[in-house]
Structure 1
Amino acid sequence: MKVIIVNRFFAPDQSATSRMATSLATGLAADGFEVEAIASAAMHDDATRQAARSEMVDGVRVTRIGTTRFGRGTLLGRALDYASFHLGAAWRLLRSSSAGDVCVVCTDPPLMSISAMLPLALKRAKLVNWLNDLFPEAAFQAGVMKPRGLAGHLSLALRDASVRAAAANVTPMDAMAQALRLRGAPADRIAVVHHWSEGDALTPMPSRESGLRREWGLEGKFVIGYCGNLGRAHDFGALLDAAAMLKSRADIAFLIVGGGYRLQSVKQEASRLGLSNMMFEPLQPESLLRECLAAPDVHFVSLLPAFETSVVPSKFYGVAAAGRPTLFVGAPDGEIARLIRDNDCGKAFGIAGGLPLAAEIELLAASPDVVARWGANARALFDARFSRGRGLAAWGDIVTACALAPRSVDRPVIAASPSPRTP
């Protein structure tokens, strides 16, 4: 039996889905599983670059397939990239999977589980859906697909079919699991395994020791940072408003590191508002991730309330690992807001929260003891609930349960909370 992980990106790519898929694959390989990863040869941040078609990465055999490379600039180009990966990955599964294999299918590209169903059924391999986002719901909420149209109805019906066909369905948040149950997914095939970060690699670092903070000219300032994808599910209105209210404060700076759909619109609005206190830097390589997360004193995370059950703001887990507080803008009763409130590791605001966000930033700039306490609490929360060791233990249990369950039995019962192990 081998474990096959299907995700559009894999190391050395530095996208969020690549980091999670790579972390899972290499962790399972280190635990003795035979692991193959199927990914695209294209790179998330540069469609002109290609990774090696076949290589070993920390014990994982990586097979990369050729796809179109239109990039992220247009919806049509992205759709064609998605479609070509669907076809190539399905063909690879038909060729490489065997009876009893466990195939973990991610949601990058969206709805990949639909294309994986048939080849896995033909080869008598077992499907495990890793639903890091819920599609097509996220597309409905982003306005790129109509829920009442033919494409919306069909994609939702087929996605639900792939959930019912799976040996297990794994979500990173309770709200997503509940959304699947409401769609009729069998409860004994749903597991909640929270996202994680590399806790050993992201140990807290004092801001003054971050070389990137010095390189970017941020010494002596109180820095609010955003590190990651600026996607359709994220709101930056409150952050821009707060920066505008505080632009007379030379000792407070706003740092955005990353790219994505909303980057240009945020840059344009920052320029229109004359925000000389807001700076932009590209996504940093993994080797600099610890320094990048250490550069801000506090981090900003956002999620539009409409996406609460379909998208997970995974950057929160890296911020917690780095021992930094989070200022969250989104649903006040959402999962991240509750985590922050219950564990005293930051503060949550509603979407129209520019004024209270600015006021809180001013208070924190004058309260290093609060920042330190919130940061320490964030790391304690990470160690207790979101370490890589806990995540891999959960996944090891799920893969083993799926592998051992005979196909004649309806499906295995999945335990969502395995015993923790050393990170």
Structure 2
Amino acid sequence: MRKSRDERNEIVFAYAYAESERDAVARVVRELATELRGQGMPVRVLGIPAGSIVASGGGPADRVRRMLSETTFLLRTVGVVFAGHRRMRAFVSVDVPSGLPLVGALARIISSGRVRDAAWVMDLYRLAAHDSGLMTKTRSAVELFALQKSGSIVTIGSCMAQTIQGLLDRQVHVIPLWHRPIERHSPVNAELPLRLLYSGSAREVHPLRDLVAVVAERDDVELTISGSGSEVEAARRDVSGRGIGNVTIREFAPEDELEAMYAGADLHIVSLAEELTGTCVPSKVYAAMGAGRGVFYLGSPTGQAAVDVLASGAGVVVGTRDGASINDALDNLVSRPKVIEEMARRSARFFDANRTIGHGAAKWAEYLVSER
């Protein structure tokens, strides 16, 4: 019996780490799935079971286990496509593992073009990396080939679209990133010290040490870093044993403490190394905006998140490793508390008008039902 059109509307999102609680991409995928279901769309999310996820990092044995886990997931998605393509309207692959867009292409081919396949790209770090290792080169080649074969490509910022178009001569659809609603508490503190917050993981691509060095020499600014990663550990070593009281480095805050921690800061720190511009869009910017707080952005002014900060008047943008400019920006802010209050208002205004999950889901719904 042939299936009716109503039975062919399933939207499948496939992302290996969709069930991870701490993964920012997983959060975005789950939020979108929930919002689309609320609009009456049948949505299925595929991911490695939470108890089977192998964390990144570790030694060679851990990396092998992670690769095997991702390969198993890739094969499972192939099975899902063969078994369920008649129910599908669209198959959306999300970043990991390498080659996942080929599964979407398979769904399109065996359905004779009825299933729409899209590669949703939220991280281009590996494709833009200068790592000459054989594994990185191999995975990059696989990812480029898979993107080339996908029916369509969606990404989260114009800067990323330009990067993809520089690698592949293809049209790229941009659906901006969003963030979940965050309860807004008290207005920003109009008195000194100026309170800065960095929340989340920070690797070498999220430079913080120059900011830490500048803040450590001031008595009118306090900085809290809550998270983990190589850059956090480097900052911890930099301040350890020096009697620096205005820089606090702590572990990740529990989910139920995040909103209060966000509200306790006057400005949120976001950092992305300039050479990585165009490889991702830091979601921390929209978390800050959702909380009604301004942004102190360390990085290039040409990245999507920095463009949003500057266009909305929601913060400042300075170089990641430019200590003098960081210090000058802090001088300007601590001497003009009204500016920080205005940044907070503009930040919330921009978020409410452009970066809620409702805005993102509406664009995705339109994209999924539009003619190809």
- Range of TM-score over shorter length: 0.7 to 0.9
**Residue 174 (structure 2) aligned to one of 188, 192, 196:** 192
**CA 1:355–1:262: 2 relative to 1, 3 Å:** same
Q: CA deviation at 1:331?
A: 1.6
- Partner-residue secondary structure (3-state), 1:262: helix
Question: 5+ residue gaps in structure 1?
Answer: 43-49, 51-65, 210-218, 406-411, 413-423
**CA offsets 1:243-278 (integer angstroms, 9 cap, x no match):** 2221xx1x5321112223432222122216543321
Q: What are the within-5 Å matches in structure 2 for residues 145-294 of structure 1?
A: 145-146=131-132, 151-187=135-171, 190-198=172-180, 201-206=181-186, 221-246=193-218, 249=219, 252-271=221-240, 273-294=242-263
- 1:385 and 2:367 are equivalent in the alignment: no
Partner of residue 272, structure 2? 303
Residue pair 2:71, 2:97 contacting (<8 A) in 1 also? no
Query: Which residue does the alignment assign to 2:5?
Result: none
Deviation at 1:119, TM superposition (A): 5.4
- The structure with the largest helix share of the pair is 2
TM-score by length of 2: 0.85
* Equivalent-residue separation in structure 1 for 2:19 and 2:26 (angstroms): 6
Q: In structure 2, what is the Cα distance between the partners aligned to 1:27 and 1:120?
A: 24
**Structure 1 CA distance for aligned equivalents of residues 284 and 55 of structure 2:** 26
| 1:47 match | none
The amino acid that maps onto 1:15 is D
User: Are 2:32 and 1:24 equivalent residues in the alignment?
Assistant: yes
**Pair 1:257–1:78, CA change in 2 (3 A):** farther
1:98-118 Cα distance to aligned partner (Å, 9 max, x none)? 1344222112x3525256357
| CA distance in 2 between partners of 1:377 and 1:75 (Å) | 47
Distance 2:109 2:243 in 1: 59
User: SS of the counterpart of 1:289?
Assistant: helix
Q: Which amino acid aligns with 1:380?
A: R
1:368 Cα deviation from its structure 2 partner: 2.5
- CA distances 1:356-383 after superposition (whole Å, capped 9, x unpaired): 3234334433432111101111111212
Which range is displaced more, 358-367 or 15-24? 358-367
TM-score norm. by structure 1 comes to: 0.76
Tell me the CA shift for residue 31 of structure 1: 1.1
Q: Which residue of 1 aligns with 2:85?
A: 98
**Partner letter of residue 174 of structure 1?**
S
Q: Is the contact made by 1:207 and 1:296 (CA closer than 8 Å) also made in structure 2? A: no
Q: Indicate yes or no: 2:20 matched with 1:5.
A: no
Structure 2 counterpart of 1:226, one-letter code:
Y
* Structure 1 residues 272 and 111, CA gap change in structure 2 (3 angstroms): farther
Q: Deviations over 1:53-87 (max 9, x none)?
A: xxxxxxxxxxxxx45x3543347624631441232
Which residue identity does 1:279 align to in structure 2?
T
Q: For residues 391 and 38 of structure 1, what CA distance do their matches in structure 2 show? A: 20
The whole-number CA distance in structure 2 between the counterparts of 1:161 and 1:183 is 11
CA-CA distance at 1:164 after TM superposition: 2.7
CA distance in 2, matches of 1:283, 1:39: 24
User: In structure 2, do the counterparts of structure 1 residues 75 and 150 end up closer, same or farther at CA, with 3 Å as the change threshold?
Assistant: closer
Question: What do residues 132-170 of structure 1 show as CA deviations (whole Å, max 9, x unaligned)?
Answer: 0115324x24xxx31xx6545543333233223223211
Which piece of structure 1 moves more, 225-234 or 2-11? 2-11
| Counterpart code for 2:107 | L
**Is the contact made by 2:19 and 2:47 (CA closer than 8 Å) also made in structure 1?**
no
Match of 2:45, SS state, is strand
- The equivalent of 2:66 in structure 1 is 81
Contact 2:163 2:278 in 1 (8 A): yes
Q: CA, structure 1 residues 307+71, in 2 after alignment: closer, same or farther (shift >3 Å)?
A: closer
Residues 381-390 or 18-27, more deviating: 381-390
**Cα distance in 2 for residues equivalent to 1:208 and 1:232:** 30
TM-aligned CA deviation for residue 131 of structure 1: 0.5
CA contact (8 A) 2:288 2:295 kept: yes
**Whole-angstrom CA distance in 2 between matches of 1:289 and 1:372:** 21
* Greater shift in the superposed pair: 25-34 or 329-338: 329-338
Equivalent position of 2:100 in the other structure: 113
How many residue pairs end up in the alignment?
357
